[in-house]
Structures are given as structure tokens and as C-alpha cells.
Amino acid sequence: AQSVTQLGSHVSVSEGALVLLRCNYSSSVPPYLFWYVQYPNQGLQLLLKYTTGATLVKGINGFEAEFKKSETSFHLTKPSAHMSDAAEYFCAVRTLSSGGGADGLTFGKGTHLIIQP
Amino acid sequence: NAGVTQTPKFRVLKTGQSMTLLCAQDMNHEYMYWYRQDPGMGLRLIHYSVGEGTTAKGEVPDGYNVSRLKKQNFLLGLESAAPSQTSVYFCASSKMDNEQFFGPGTRLTVL
């Protein structure tokens, strides 16, 4: 079974400061990992993903995440926060059915990012 | 490309009423999904489909039914709505087990 834990339901940073959103996962198979962003009253938009290969992945809007197998982590970072980054962020791991096929994503509960001026 | 669209955007039901939510995608994706989003719970998978004519249960399927008669459409039905089904419903689609593309959501209130 797969699960995702996001530490901190709310994270507040100052504009221009480092953004760090934490995600830990458990997976019985090699994980596919995703970060999505949700702006108010909108659907989810993919920020970045890790499937195989390079463990440091870069996404849109200056975000990046590093897959660390030994720590079962996939933390999201951005060097300098902008006001426009204020949103809800979700970490997700691909889930597999008993037959081995993909059957959706398991999401963390989300982290609300607040940017202080 | 419209991507993933959902109809309706908002709906208010009374307990016991039925309704169908429609999801359509124009990306020729094989896989389609229905999730519900509740405060503090993240998104939870209701049902999914890996191809036309096939559906399967997700994490929280009770009280919902689905149909995938055409590749581009995925319908979510509530036969007898309950207040516990008040939520925001998201449809998504993907090519095999790759990244999922989400619709804008349907906000449902059951009184």
C-alpha cells in the first residue's frame, strides 16, 4: 500500500525567503512521485514529477524537488518565494492495484503556503 | 484543446435526490478518475477507469456509481444523495500511469 505524509498543514514564509514543503511517502514498489498546486477555486496543476532517472527534478515556476530513497522523502523547494506562490500544495504517489496496474494517485492532505509581504 | 472539462460547476441537492456529474477529456487518454476533496483530507479516489467500458473502485466508492461508455467521457452518479457527499469533485485523466490532468471541479452541496 502507498501513503503520503505532508508535514505542516500551513507553512508561512516571507516574500523572497526559501520555500520548503515536506513530503514523505511509503510505497511497496518503486514510487512515481508528484507535486501539484491548487489555486483557490481551481483544479490541480502539476508542478513536477519523479518517475525514474535524475533524483533532482525541476518544475514550473522555479520549484524543484529531490527524491531521496533512503529517507523516503520528496521535499519541494523554491529559493525565493513570490506572492503568487500562495496556494495549496499536494504531494502524491502513484498507487498500484493488486494486479500491478496503476489505479490512481494517493495524495497527502495538503500544505497551505502563505507568503508574508 | 479544452483539456478536462466538468459539468456542472455547482449543484445543490436535497437528501435522497440523484444526479450525474459529467467529465470529458479531449486528450485521448486511456485512464480517467473521479476524486473528492474535503477540507483537511486531501483528494480521495472514488472510482477510476483504465479504458472504455471498464471501471474499478477506488478508496471511497460507497454511494457512487460510474460509467465509461465512451473513451472521452466518464460519468459519476449519485443515486440517493446524502449530506456526507457534500464535497468538491474532481475528474482527472492520464495516459497510462503518467501524470494526471485535472478538471476545474464541481462543488456539490447536499442539504
Q: Which residues of A touch B97 (CB under 8 A)?
A: 32, 94, 101-102
Q: Does A10 or B41 have the greater pLDDT score?
A: A10
Amino acid at residue number B82: A
Question: Rounded distance, CA B100 to CA A72, Å?
Answer: 22
B18-39 confidence digits (pLDDT tens): 999 999 999 999 999 999 999 8
Q: Does A8 or A98 have the greater pLDDT score?
A: A8
Question: Rounded distance, CA A66 to CA B58, Å?
Answer: 29
Between chain A and chain B, the number of residue pairs with CB atoms below 8 A apart is: 60
Bridge partners (DSSP) listed for residue B4: B25
**Pairwise CB contact (< 8 Å): A101 & B97:** yes
pLDDT of residue B41: 85
Does B41 reach chain A within 8 Å, measured CB to CB?
A: yes
Does A94 reach chain B within 8 Å, measured CB to CB?
A: yes
Question: Rounded distance, CA A105 to CA A2, Å?
Answer: 9
A33-72 confidence digits (pLDDT tens): 999 999 988 899 999 999 888 999 999 999 999 999 999 9
Residue B64 clears pLDDT 90, i.e. is over it: yes
**Pairwise CB contact (< 8 Å): A110 & B42:** yes
